[in-house]
Structure 1
């Protein structure tokens, strides 16, 4: 264990290894209207050091300018950062395949309409269809989507329109817990048609490719930061990018311990401040500890929390990959989180 602590002391900050950062929003930078602890000050230091940031979100309900306004209200300062969402990825996908100003039905929040217009297409709301044909339909999250709009998606798809879903996240994080996401609404439409949508959001690589193009960085120089294994981390892996998984959102340490290979991050930290901490890769060659009698990794007796967290995760992965049973008892993992100082956020009662 002394070797682990010493190597952590000599390791360079994680941020120093990369020239651009793709950062998720919900659960990473903010939870609703409230900033995640340490997120704002860390991101301001990132851009001050000359590392550009693209905030990339599956949530397509708001236009990027509105999201940027929220970030400024939280205290994200200066230049060197921008916002992209899955509506923009959907619009870019269709703009490469349709003629300029092609009519596309927009179902979802204002972000869907904005992205289509920005890409040179003509967004048409369901209420304005009036029998005029459209060549495609983009379905994204909207907080006021109606039965009529969902039914219209099915009608248009059955009539031959191309169907693009901004994302298929079944749930959406809120300050009160999980709520139905765009994937739940897409699933409703799928009960009426045999078609399946083309999906552009995480974990598909399209949104990451769009964000990286804006950064102007090569894959080895780009880091993804997110709080969801099945979207942020799996998507980063599919796009060939390194990733930092943070425990400030809805996924927990237990989820990480049981992650399959395709959803395993390169690094882990309690929150975004891990970008400025020593870079400790989650590989199998270092940081292993013993499993206790309760079939969970023992915490190291020395070393900082970053090294201890790395040791717990790598031990769990190595044990599972070697065929050994690891306890999935949630209270046990919650106690480990508390001892490591990475316990999840408290949620208010709705």
Structure 2
């Protein structure tokens, strides 16, 4: 019965991991559904490591026709937020090389000491020294921004892969407790950015994802409907007549 809802919406938001892809593999029906929606969609992801150019390349390799302009990622969204709120700030960035390069391009001064902001994203090179430097900056009064609250995601081998939320938990457990600003799902930031990109009100959009705690709660906070799917559901969506009506009209 829930398939009937699809024709009611003018725009669609998709989660990535567990909805469109698993690891570097596109899930069945994902490519067909993206083509059926003819650009009236945005992917919103708590990926705080990659920049859109990188992830779009991975998706093309998996056979998904999704350009970088259709991707809203929590790491880049965090830099967007900081650029609006603290332009040119002294930034202690815990994250990937790609994210650091993008921050420098935007005019942030990257530093491990005396920072105005500590931005915590996924960092595969996180060390004890990183933890100590971040704790010092927080102790000295730096604001804390967490790109994604996710503490882990399932790896291809079934074992948990640490995420930005785990690093944030370690840093914020030291010394004086400081309330962070969280950008990623389930906060409304990514959802609002997606609706703005589609030039639609949230009530005209449907969020499709596999995680009620992030995708579902974030959709509810943003005023949009959530459709909970599991791997294997997308082929039914791609061929449903209501999507064909949506595509034509």
Aligned partners of 2:123 and 2:227: how far apart in 1?
29
User: Do residues 145 (structure 1) and 126 (structure 2) align?
Assistant: yes
CA offsets 1:196-239 (integer angstroms, 9 cap, x no match): 31111111101111122112111111111111111111111111
What is residue 156 of structure 1 aligned with on the other side?
137
Q: 1:76 aligns with which of 47, 53, 64?
A: 64
CA RMSD, Structure 1 to Structure 2 (Å): 2.4
Higher RCO (C-alpha 8 Å, min separation 6) = 2
User: Do residues 56 (structure 1) and 47 (structure 2) align?
Assistant: no
| Superposition TM-score, scaled by structure 2 size | 0.86
C-alpha distance 77-241 of structure 1, shift in aligned 2 (>3 A):
same
Deviation at 1:111, TM superposition (A): 4.9
Deviation at 1:63, TM superposition (A): 0.9
CA offsets 1:109-154 (integer angstroms, 9 cap, x no match): 2353255346x34151xxx54x5x3211110012222222122221
Deviation at 1:60, TM superposition (A): 0.6
Aligned pairs for 1:252-291 within 5 A:
270-276=232-238, 277=240
Aligned partners of 1:235 and 1:35: how far apart in 2?
24
Aligned partners of 2:228 and 2:68: how far apart in 1?
22
User: Do residues 241 (structure 1) and 224 (structure 2) align?
Assistant: yes
Query: Which structure has the greater CA radius of gyration?
Result: 1
Aligned pairs for 1:37-116 within 5 A:
37-47=28-38, 51-77=39-65, 82-98=70-86, 100-116=87-103
Whether the 8 Å CA contact 1:52–1:80 is kept in 2: the answer is: no
Q: 2:210 aligns with which of 203, 227, 234?
A: 227
Structure 1's unaligned 5+ residue stretches are 1-7, 249-269, 280-350
What is residue 246 of structure 2 aligned with on the other side?
none
CA offsets 1:301-327 (integer angstroms, 9 cap, x no match): xxxxxxxxxxxxxxxxxxxxxxxxxxx
What is residue 164 of structure 2 aligned with on the other side?
182
Give the total of aligned pairs: 239
What is residue 108 of structure 2 aligned with on the other side?
122
Deviation at 1:81, TM superposition (A): 5.5
Whether the 8 Å CA contact 1:112–1:138 is kept in 2: the answer is: no
Deviation at 1:15, TM superposition (A): 3.6
Q: 2:15 aligns with which of 24, 28, 46?
A: 24
What is residue 183 of structure 2 aligned with on the other side?
200
C-alpha distance 274-152 of structure 1, shift in aligned 2 (>3 A):
farther
